[in-house]
Amino acid sequence: MFRAAVAGTWAENAAYYGTIVMREVRGRQLPPPPAVLRMIRDLLLEFGPAELLDSFLIRPAMLAAGMALAPMPLVGTVAGKLVADLCVYPPTIVSYELLQRRRASGTEMAP
């Protein structure tokens, strides 16, 4: 069951980040390298800490628990996903807000 939860976590990550990348790339020229490095750095600052916890601990554990405890695997999967989202989005929002404040204060560092 835990392997299925890990596979579900990584499939969701691939779809989520793949969609973000495709939206950014579609119909645009590749930005200059410094802009690409800033974008990668900002994504890592915004999503990195929460994503590491989510991908390797929180989401697989919540999906496995949901599937083990719910009467139907689909119900458990959805419940586990929602609980994992509730655990992950607050730190992501905090990271985003700190990044925005840094940008607004003019302390943005070049890559």
How do the pLDDT tens digits run along the chain, 111 residues long?
A: 777 777 888 888 888 878 877 776 676 677 777 877 877 787 787 777 788 888 888 888 998 999 899 989 889 989 998 999 898 888 888 878 887 888 788 765 544
Place of tokens 């697989």: 60
Q: How do the domains of the chain map onto residue ranges? A: 2-105
Single-letter amino acid, residue 7? A
Q: Are 3 and 63 in contact (CB under 8 A)?
A: no
Query: What pLDDT was estimated at residue 111?
Result: 46
